[in-house]
Amino acid sequence: MLPRITSGQVLSSIVGGAHAYLPLNEEPQTESEAALVGSFLQGIRDWGDIWDDIGAEAQVRAQYSLAQELRSLEEAGFGVYAARQKRRMKIGGGDATDWSIAAVAVLRGLDRKPLLQGDSLFVEGGMLRHLGRRHLTTACTRRPPALTPSGRG
């Protein structure tokens, strides 16, 4: 089950430095919803990509910015649910390595109970409902530690 996230600091610990992202959202009903949700999902991916390259001050400012975005989404009736997972992934013919996956779902409502199984998200509401499937390969932006030239993660 993905927990609801209300803190920029907690969200940054999930997306910061992740090797891949699994963004999930319900279909927007208006242009403004599409802009709000799309901007948020792109922003967390961007912060996650540069997290290890920015200093402590920038990370604290990012946490503040993420907290503001979480509040804006809540005011619009959306909840953010997220978790960081480890998955063994094999790329090409190489050995399988551990990848950090940031799964982030933006859903209508603040009391949802999303369940992530593989790359699919289900939401309880009398019965489980399939919201969509995204492939991690399209979201991979960072190499796992074993593939980093310096050997550091």
Residue 112 CA to residue 119 CA, distance in Å, equals 18
Domain tally, the chain: 1
Query: Average pLDDT for residues 61-90, to the nearest whole number?
Result: 93
CA-based nearest residue to 116, from 29, 7, 14: 14
pLDDT mean across residues, the chain: 81
Which residues neighbour 80 within 8 Å (Cβ) at sequence distance 6 or greater? Answer: 4, 5, 6, 11, 40, 70, 73, 104, 105, 106
| Any domain includes 20 | yes
Relative to beta strand 120-123, strand 114-117 is antiparallel
Q: Which domain does 56 fall in, by range?
A: 8-147
Contact by Cβ (8 Å): 114, 2: yes
pLDDT, tens only, 98-142: 888 999 999 998 888 888 877 677 876 533 344 444 444 334 444
User: Considering the entire predicted model, what is its pTM?
Assistant: 0.79
